[in-house]
Structure 1
Amino acid sequence: MNTEFIQALGELVKEKGIDRDVLLETIEQALTSAYKKNFGSAQNVRVDMNKETGDIKVYSQRTVVDESDLYDTFLEIELDEARKVNPNYEIGDVLEFEVTPKDFGRIAAQTAKQIVVQKIRESEREMTYNEFVEKQDELVTGEISRVTVRDGKKIVYVQIGKGEGILLHSEQIPGEEYKIGKTMKFYVVEVNKTNKNPQIIISRAHFGLVKRLFEMEVPEIQDGIVQIKSMSREAGSRTKMAVRSVDSKIDPIGACVGTQGSRVRNIVNELGDEKIDIVKYSDDMAEFIEASLSPSKVTKVFVNNKDKSAVVIVPDFQLSLAIGKEGQNARLAARLTNWKIDIKPESDFSEEDERLLLEKLEIDNLAAENAADDIEEDLLEGEFSDEEIDFEADDSLNNDFVEDESDEEMYIEDLTDEKAETENI
Structure 2
Amino acid sequence: MAVTGISANRLELLSIADAVAREKNIDREIVIDAIEEAIQKGAKSRYGAHHDIRAKIDHKTGELSLTRHTTIVADDWEPEDELEEFNDSAMVRLRDALKRDPEAEIGKEYIEVLPPFEFGRVQTQMARQVVTGKVREAERANQYEEFKDRVGEIVNGTVKRVEYGNTIVDLGRGEGIMRRDQSIPREVFNVGDRVRTYIYDVRPEAKGPQVMLSRAHPGFMAKLFSQEVPEVYDGVIEIRAAARDAGSRAKMAVLSNDSSIDPVGACVGMRGSRVQAVVAELQGEKIDIIPWVDDEPTFIVNALAPAEVSKVVLDEDADRVEVVVPDDQLSLAIGRRGQNVRLASQLTGWQIDIITEAQDSERRQKEFAERTGLFQEALDVDETIAQLLVTEGFATVEDLAYVEAYEVAEIEGFDEDTAEELQTRAREFLERQATELDNKRKALGVEDGVLEIEGVTPQMAVALGEGGVKTIEDLADLATDEIRGGHEIRGGERVKLAGVLESFNLSQEAAELLILRARVAAGWIDASELPQPEPEPEPEFEDVEGEDAFAREYDDAEGEVEAVEPEGDTDEPQDA
CA–CA distance in structure 2, aligned partners of residues 338 and 375 of structure 1: 24
Aligned to 1:143: 158
In structure 1, give the amino acid aligned to 2:48.
G
Q: Matched residue of 1:264: which SS?
A: helix
Which of 25, 40, 44 is the equivalent residue of 1:32? 40
Gaps in structure 2 of 5+ consecutive residues: 1-5, 74-86, 369-389, 396-531, 539-576
1:218-266 deviations in Å (ceiling 9; x for gaps): 1111222222222222222211111122222211111111111111111
Aligned to 1:204: 215
Aligned to 2:406: none
* Identical amino acids, percent of aligned pairs: 37
What does residue range 364-403 of structure 1 map to in structure 2 within 5 Å? 377=535
What does residue range 223-302 of structure 1 map to in structure 2 within 5 Å? 223-302=234-313
Which of 342, 361, 368 is the equivalent residue of 1:350? 361
Q: Per-residue deviation at 1:282?
A: 1.7
- Provide the alpha-carbon RMSD of the alignment: 4.0
What does residue range 23-62 of structure 1 map to in structure 2 within 5 Å? 23-41=31-49, 43-51=51-59, 53-61=61-69
- Structure 1 144/213 Cα, relative in aligned 2: closer, same or farther at 3 Å? same
CA–CA distance in structure 2, aligned partners of residues 52 and 114 of structure 1: 25
- The answer on whether the counterparts of 1:238 and 1:276 sit within 8 Å (CA) in structure 2 is yes
Q: Per-residue deviation at 1:201?
A: 1.0
Q: Matched residue of 1:213: which SS?
A: helix
CA–CA distance in structure 1, aligned partners of residues 89 and 274 of structure 2: 82
CA–CA distance in structure 1, aligned partners of residues 42 and 230 of structure 2: 61
- Structure 1 27/89 Cα, relative in aligned 2: closer, same or farther at 3 Å? farther
- Structure 1 89/137 Cα, relative in aligned 2: closer, same or farther at 3 Å? same
Which of 106, 114, 118 is the equivalent residue of 1:103? 118
- The answer on whether the counterparts of 2:253 and 2:289 sit within 8 Å (CA) in structure 1 is yes
In structure 1, give the amino acid aligned to 2:256.
S
Task: Using the TM superposition, name which of 103-112 and 336-345 deviates more.
Answer: 103-112
- Structure 1 43/165 Cα, relative in aligned 2: closer, same or farther at 3 Å? closer
Q: Per-residue deviation at 1:296?
A: 1.4
Give TM-score scaled by structure 2 length: 0.53
CA–CA distance in structure 2, aligned partners of residues 182 and 277 of structure 1: 30
1:340-386 deviations in Å (ceiling 9; x for gaps): 333233344439939979999999xxxxxxxxxx9663579xxxxxx
CA–CA distance in structure 1, aligned partners of residues 147 and 113 of structure 2: 48
Aligned to 2:230: 219
Aligned to 1:321: 332
- The answer on whether the counterparts of 2:55 and 2:67 sit within 8 Å (CA) in structure 1 is yes
CA–CA distance in structure 2, aligned partners of residues 309 and 359 of structure 1: 26
Query: How many corresponding residue pairs?
Result: 357
Aligned to 1:413: none
Q: Matched residue of 1:296: which SS?
A: coil
Q: Matched residue of 1:288: which SS?
A: helix
CA–CA distance in structure 2, aligned partners of residues 346 and 322 of structure 1: 13
Q: Per-residue deviation at 1:166?
A: 0.9
Q: Matched residue of 1:350: which SS?
A: helix
- The answer on whether the counterparts of 2:50 and 2:89 sit within 8 Å (CA) in structure 1 is no
What does residue range 96-135 of structure 1 map to in structure 2 within 5 Å? 96-100=111-115, 102-103=117-118, 116-135=131-150
Q: Matched residue of 1:193: which SS?
A: strand
In structure 1, give the amino acid aligned to 2:144.
Y
CA–CA distance in structure 2, aligned partners of residues 60 and 6 of structure 1: 21
Q: Matched residue of 1:266: which SS?
A: helix
- Structure 1 117/253 Cα, relative in aligned 2: closer, same or farther at 3 Å? same
Aligned to 2:460: none
Aligned to 1:416: none
Q: Per-residue deviation at 1:291?
A: 1.0
- The answer on whether the counterparts of 2:324 and 2:355 sit within 8 Å (CA) in structure 1 is yes
CA–CA distance in structure 2, aligned partners of residues 327 and 195 of structure 1: 41
CA–CA distance in structure 1, aligned partners of residues 294 and 246 of structure 2: 27
Bigger relative contact order (CA 8 A; separation at least 6): 1
Aligned to 1:406: none
Q: Matched residue of 1:377: which SS?
A: coil
- The answer on whether the counterparts of 1:31 and 1:111 sit within 8 Å (CA) in structure 2 is no
Give TM-score scaled by structure 1 length: 0.70
Aligned to 1:333: 344
- The answer on whether the counterparts of 2:17 and 2:32 sit within 8 Å (CA) in structure 1 is no
In structure 1, give the amino acid aligned to 2:251.
K
CA–CA distance in structure 2, aligned partners of residues 281 and 359 of structure 1: 37
In structure 1, give the amino acid aligned to 2:294.
D
1:41-69 deviations in Å (ceiling 9; x for gaps): 3544344545554444544445689xxxx
Task: Using the TM superposition, name which of 249-258 and 177-186 deviates more.
Answer: 177-186
CA–CA distance in structure 2, aligned partners of residues 5 and 290 of structure 1: 73
- Structure 1 105/282 Cα, relative in aligned 2: closer, same or farther at 3 Å? same
1:188-215 deviations in Å (ceiling 9; x for gaps): 1211223444211111221111111111
Q: Per-residue deviation at 1:274?
A: 1.3
- The answer on whether the counterparts of 2:246 and 2:285 sit within 8 Å (CA) in structure 1 is yes
